Structure 1
Amino acid sequence: MARIAVIGAGMGAMAAAARLAVAGHRVTVYERSATYGGALGVLERDGFTFDTGPGLLHLPAVWRDLFLKTGKEPLEDCLGLVPVSPASRHLFADGTAVVLPDASRAGIVSALDGALGAGAGERWGDFLGRARDAWDRSRRPLLEEPLRSDWRVLERDPYPALRRRAFLRSRRASTVAEVGARELADPRLATLFSWYALAYGLDPRHAPAGAAVLPYLEQTFGTWYVAGGLRQLARAVHERCRKRRVEFAFGSEVVSITVRDGRAAGIVLGDGTAVEADHVVAGADTAALLTEGPAGPAQPLRSDGDVPLRAEVPPGRFTVLLALRGAAGAGVAHRSVVHSPDASAEAAAVFGGAVTDRPTVTVLRPRDPLTRPDDGHEAVTLTATVAGHRVPGAPGTGPDWTDKALRERVAETLIDTVAAADPDFGGPDALRERLLWQEVLTPAETGALPAPSLAGPAGRWLHPSNSTRLPGLYLVGGRAHPGGGLAHEGMSGALVAGLIVEGAGFRGSQ
């Protein structure tokens, strides 16, 4: 039985902890905050309950597998998992609206043809077929296996882009934006694809065409809501950890990782306490954790293979939580997306450190009695992907999201954008008359939005591997392979547990 210290109580870290405990190891999780769940936070006030991170679940099979492998109670016995149907409603700048069904390719094709004109659905359906090919080619090396030391085999984009003739030569689309322009043709379809990329923290102007797997996964395997909010998933995973005798030490900040005899030998807490461990699993940002000890001077915690480090500041989410009087009307969509009139300009602002006045806003309106005090009220969440937070005095460009005037201005922009475009709110005046109070969350509070790993040129969209150059040290969570997103974090926990239990020969799930 090995002693394992896990840094951070995020979802990937807890997924690893539960699996390691079932394998017979003694696991302790050290979390600097007062609670678990990482990005899956919650705000409760006056009978309203809001998720402060993501509000919808994709690929629930990842978490079903965790519960299957760590106990007798399946995931559905531990929380209420409800398919979102329809999956989403999209409002475009030209006034077009389309409602997309959940996990029905034929239904999606029909809806797009009806809303955007004949042929639009067929083009999107053909695009999803190519996206499926990209998924089949990349699924195992990108999600189900540890990142190989010869990661350069992933420099080839798996998306089978159509060959088009331009300027007397044949070319293939290589980015999300190019696929939109050359294959989808309709600017609204191109905007729809760009939204999927941006929502995952990817720049559609530069992200590889293989990002097509993101809409494919959602539209094939469905969109899910957890009764009471996605925070309930964090609660269920925490309870599963406790049942497997994982120990949690909250309010315990890890300041360094100890090295002895050339391997990770434990951690040091902020109060000076030294904790011995046979393995260390880092679910928090390791950039500030310098290894130290008799083996030598401090060294950065790089991973095997040395995939390129990303130079740009990752984006984040700007969130406005609205407590409204009055019930939602009949037939209101759970998720609506009000698209920016210029997706390229929006991306340029987000990844250029600027603030756009015309953002894409996602609206979540769960018809869930657990999120509101009674049937005479409604809890609504507005989110937009924005430039990451710039710490005042630090190098680089970007907004200072602690600036009160900026926060208020952007919050008003999101509210005005939705109220003007979404007829279900009855216009700006009607929405503001219903408003009891609002809360604003920015990247200054909720952090960066790590993107999922993708295959592509130079390995620019890969994340550091779960094993590192320092024996005994492993990386887990959105900043490690296979990247950000709730499902990806769960996969990273499975990979780390496999590497520790089975050793360097572990090749992933079969």
Structure 2
Amino acid sequence: MARIVIIGAGISGLAAAARLATLGHRVTVCEASGTYGGMLGRYERDGFSFDTGPGLLTLPAVYRDLALKSGREPLEQLVELAPVAPESRHLFPDGTDLLLPNASRGGVAQALDEAFGPGSGERWGEVMNRARTVWEATRRPLLEEPLPADPGPLRTDPYPAPPRRGLARFSRRTSTLADVAQRELGGHPGLTALLYEYALRFGLSPDEAPAGASVLPYMEQSFGVWYVTGGNRALAEAVYRRCEQRGVEFHFDTPVTEVLVADGSARGVAAGERRFEADLVLSAVDARTLARRGIVPGLDPKFGEGPSTGRLTVLLALRGARPAGTAYRTVVHARDLERELDRVFERPGLPEYPTVQVHRPDDPTLRPDDAHEAATLTVTVPDPDELAELAPDFEAYADHLLDHLAATGIDLRERVLWREVLPPTAALLPPSLAGADGRFLNPPNDSGIPGLYLIGATVHPGGGLARAGMSASITAAGIGPA
């Protein structure tokens, strides 16, 4: 039995703790805040509850595996889980209204034909077929297994070159997501906005992200999107309960100030004057924080650094019942997509008429009664540190967002009882992607220091709820049973 200390009680830390305790290890978790869950936070007021992190779950198989491996029971016995229908509604600046079905590529093609004209679904489907090739090539090395010791092959984008005819034969190959939009989607504004939205959600610039980033819509449209009753915070609660059942010891309000290294190996952690000795240490906190704050002696201060963006969130407590037939997720696309990308990635500032995610769950546990509704707006914005230097007025911007939505037919302004604006305080974290000479590969789980492992959204296999869970699974499997 190894003594294992985990830094951070976010979802990856919880998942690793549950797995390792089940394998017979003695596990202690040190968490800087007063609660668990990390990005799966919750805001509660006056009978309303809101997820402050991701509201939907993709690849639920990751947490089904966790439930079975740590307790031999299906995930559905721990949380109430259901596929979202429709997967999303999309409102475009030209007035087009698109409903996408969940986990039905054929249904998506039909919906695109109806919204954008015949042939649109086929064109999109051809891109998704090539994205399937990316999925098949990268699923194991970029999701299910440790980052290869030699990641060289992953520096090349597995996105297959589409057939090129005429003068196109002499142009450079498709290398970025922007190339895919221009060459394979014909620059169609609606299809381009749809493709870019998946990248923007993860803080990826279409001009920089490899063509293989098309795997993101492929995964959602092939495997579906799911909702956890009570929000994803309920998932964190379930995993925390499993940790308690397996004897994991938690210390909250205990920020780790140093990883203790002796004879070149991690031997525990310091939290101020407190010491927690260990045979192994797992860090589930932002890897860049470890480097910048000197928590790990000798770790390069630039470890894990890269381009970053943030997410602005507005929580809305609404009077009046949720209208029947309202989609859980509506995406209001930017009035001027290129201008939005310029403000997010090139000239930092709040985009004027941005792409807005509107989440309106039909969940009685999140509202005081059926005469009210809880809704959440999210917008991708520039790097939080850069944005903070501009000192934007987020309250005025929230008013502007409500006006922006009203112009598309979603007028919530007269229904707002109160709102809470959550300024962006953390960077969006993209998944590991092949191509672009390895620029989109996250650091490996092996820190390079014996006895110290890194898990969570800032390392392999990258950002997103499913991948954070997979980082825990990969690392726990590498450590093995006691």
Is TM more than 0.5 here? yes
1:351 pairs with one of 338, 345, 348: 345
Q: Secondary structure at the match of 1:274?
A: strand
Task: Show the counterpart of 1:229.
Answer: 231
1:217 pairs with one of 219, 239, 253: 219
Pairing of 1:53-92 with structure 2 (within 5 A): 53-92=53-92
The runs of 5 or more residues in structure 2 that have no matched partner are: none
Cα distance per residue 1:222-275 (max 9 Å; x no partner): 1111111111001011111111111111000000011111100111002x1121
Task: Show the counterpart of 2:282.
Answer: 281
2:428 pairs with one of 424, 449, 458: 449
Pairing of 1:228-267 with structure 2 (within 5 A): 228-267=230-269
1:474 pairs with one of 438, 446, 453: 453
Q: Secondary structure at the match of 1:254?
A: coil
Task: Show the counterpart of 2:376.
Answer: 381
TM-score between both structures, scaled by the size of structure 2 = 0.95
Q: Secondary structure at the match of 1:212?
A: helix
Instruction: Assess if the C-alpha contact under 8 Å between 1:163 and 1:171 holds in 2.
Output: no
Change (3 A) 1:261 1:62: same
- Aligned residue type for 2:310: G
Task: Show the counterpart of 2:298.
Answer: 299
Change (3 A) 1:143 1:475: same
1:325 pairs with one of 319, 329, 340: 319
Q: 2-side partners of 1:411 and 1:377: how far apart? A: 20
- Structure 2 residue 413 is the aligned partner of structure 1 residue 432: yes
Q: 1-side partners of 2:389 and 2:421: how far apart? A: 11
Change (3 A) 1:402 1:75: farther
Instruction: Assess if the C-alpha contact under 8 Å between 2:257 and 2:295 holds in 1.
Output: no
Q: Secondary structure at the match of 1:172?
A: coil
Task: Show the counterpart of 1:136.
Answer: 136
Task: Show the counterpart of 1:393.
Answer: none
1:418 pairs with one of 376, 381, 405: 405
Cα distance per residue 1:69-122 (max 9 Å; x no partner): 111232100111011101001011111111000111111111110111000011
Task: Show the counterpart of 2:361.
Answer: 366
- Aligned residue type for 1:473: L
Which is worse superposed, 99-108 or 156-165? 156-165
Shift of 1:200: 1.3
Pairing of 1:174-213 with structure 2 (within 5 A): 174-185=175-186, 186-213=188-215
Shift of 1:139: 0.6
Change (3 A) 1:69 1:317: same
- Structure 2 residue 127 is the aligned partner of structure 1 residue 127: yes
Change (3 A) 1:259 1:440: same
Aligned residues: 476
Shift of 1:341: 2.7
Instruction: Assess if the C-alpha contact under 8 Å between 1:340 and 1:359 holds in 2.
Output: yes
Which is worse superposed, 343-352 or 324-333? 343-352
Q: Secondary structure at the match of 1:400?
A: helix
Shift of 1:451: 0.7
Task: Show the counterpart of 2:151.
Answer: 151
- Structure 2 residue 477 is the aligned partner of structure 1 residue 498: yes
Cα RMSD after superposing both structures: 1.8
Q: Secondary structure at the match of 2:259?
A: strand
- Aligned residue type for 1:372: R
1:400 pairs with one of 388, 392, 398: 388
Shift of 1:340: 0.6
Instruction: Assess if the C-alpha contact under 8 Å between 1:181 and 1:187 holds in 2.
Output: no
- Aligned residue type for 1:116: F
Q: Secondary structure at the match of 2:200?
A: helix
Task: Show the counterpart of 1:394.
Answer: none
Shift of 1:408: 1.3
Instruction: Assess if the C-alpha contact under 8 Å between 2:209 and 2:436 holds in 1.
Output: no
Instruction: Assess if the C-alpha contact under 8 Å between 1:161 and 1:174 holds in 2.
Output: no
Q: Secondary structure at the match of 1:130?
A: helix
Cα distance per residue 1:181-208 (max 9 Å; x no partner): 1101222101100000110121111100
Q: Secondary structure at the match of 2:477?
A: helix
Q: 1-side partners of 2:119 and 2:253: how far apart? A: 57
TM-score between both structures, scaled by the size of structure 1 = 0.90
Cα distance per residue 1:447-500 (max 9 Å; x no partner): 111110000122100111001211000000001100100000000001111222
Q: 2-side partners of 1:223 and 1:401: how far apart? A: 36
Instruction: Assess if the C-alpha contact under 8 Å between 1:205 and 1:347 holds in 2.
Output: no
Q: 1-side partners of 2:255 and 2:339: how far apart? A: 40
Shift of 1:145: 1.1
Task: Show the counterpart of 1:295.
Answer: none
2:294 pairs with one of 290, 295, 304: 290
Q: Secondary structure at the match of 1:132?
A: helix
Pairing of 1:98-117 with structure 2 (within 5 A): 98-117=98-117
Instruction: Assess if the C-alpha contact under 8 Å between 1:451 and 1:483 holds in 2.
Output: yes
- Aligned residue type for 1:268: A
- Aligned residue type for 1:146: P
Q: 1-side partners of 2:168 and 2:74: how far apart? A: 57
Shift of 1:289: 5.0
Instruction: Assess if the C-alpha contact under 8 Å between 2:356 and 2:377 holds in 1.
Output: yes
Pairing of 1:334-345 with structure 2 (within 5 A): 334-345=328-339
- Aligned residue type for 2:358: V
Change (3 A) 1:30 1:402: farther
- Aligned residue type for 2:238: A
Q: 2-side partners of 1:140 and 1:17: how far apart? A: 23
Q: 2-side partners of 1:129 and 1:493: how far apart? A: 30
Shift of 1:170: 4.0
Shift of 1:349: 1.4
